[in-house]
Amino acid sequence: MSSAADEADIIDRIYEAAAFGDLWPTVMEEVSEAVDAHAACMLVRTADAWTGLAPSPSIDEAVRAYAETDIPLRTSTTARLIGANRPGFVTDEDLFSPEEYQADPYIAEWAMPQGLYHGAASAIHVPTGDFAVVQIHRRLGAPPFDPDTVALLDALRPHLARSAALAARWRLERLRVAVEAMDLLGLPAAVLNASGRVLLANSLLENRKDLVTWRPGDRLALHQKAGNDLLQQAVSELADASAAARHRHPPVPERWAGRRPPDTPARGCPRPVWRRPGAPDHHRAGRAGLAKRRHPSGPVRPHGRRGAGGGRRIGRPND
């Protein structure tokens, strides 16, 4: 990265992407250029399926084609990244021997044919239960990521994490506003996740005991048979789509279930700034080429039982 001003521009765009999701590909491109890489990609996982994909424009078609293959089922890259459980970026040299890396299907069958090789990646957890993986690649023949470059990526990582948290929170907030708008129009409304669990419901729906029955697990059923059949069909189609996504991209390891990852802010705690063990503490001491900037984004808190305007906030997005 050539200057602190350049980094400040990237950080600004990282936060802009929280509100305007179509900026993420540009952000990925700028992050990759800042560390002399060719391309980067962010993948987002919600509940039990990979639901978002934001590659650099230069590899957009190749990444989307990759997502439709069976390579994600056979590669060990994501499992090793998650298994490392590191609150920072790790490189291929941290996770693989040279022989293992060259033999992995992700590298042998996809990355190398695309002219890509050495990589750095990080798993970023969001308090809503979502998480994102940021993967960066250099061209075939370029040197691996050195510790100074990884330290620079680690300095950007807290901003990526906060932006992802804001994006998840704002996504749910937009849904809440839509549900409340239905309330103003006199229409009962709710938001369900892919498993049929109710995330949000307005007061009109909550109070219509003649219309719905609330079931265990924050689920609902309509009294009218035809309407309930349509509802159950829609939920079933969502479940099928989620299952298809799980088939293409295997689930995270079981040891993550029910455990707070190390980089997830606890409720009411200050925002952490993470760095690699042994790396300079850029946020305390500062370093040439690294901008010191603060952005007022607090931790995303779990949703309460009641929403604004009397509506219900029942589940969390990943339930």
Give the lowest-confidence range in 122-131, 209-218, 242-251. Answer: 242-251
For each of the domains in the chain, give its residue range(s) and CATH number, in order of start: 4-170 (3.30.450.80), 171-246+304-313 (no CATH)
Average pLDDT over the chain, rounded to an integer: 75
- pTM score over 0.85: no
- pLDDT, tens digit, 9 for 90 and up, residues 168-181: 777 777 778 888 88
Average pLDDT over residues 221-249: 72
Give the number of other CB atoms < 10 A from CB of residue 144.
15
Residue 217 tokens, joined: 């697990």
Closest CA to 238 of 104, 7, 47: 47
Give the burial string for 155-170 (b: 16+ CB within 10 Å, else e): bbbbbbbbbbbbbbbe
H helix or E strand, kind and range, residue 173: helix 147-184
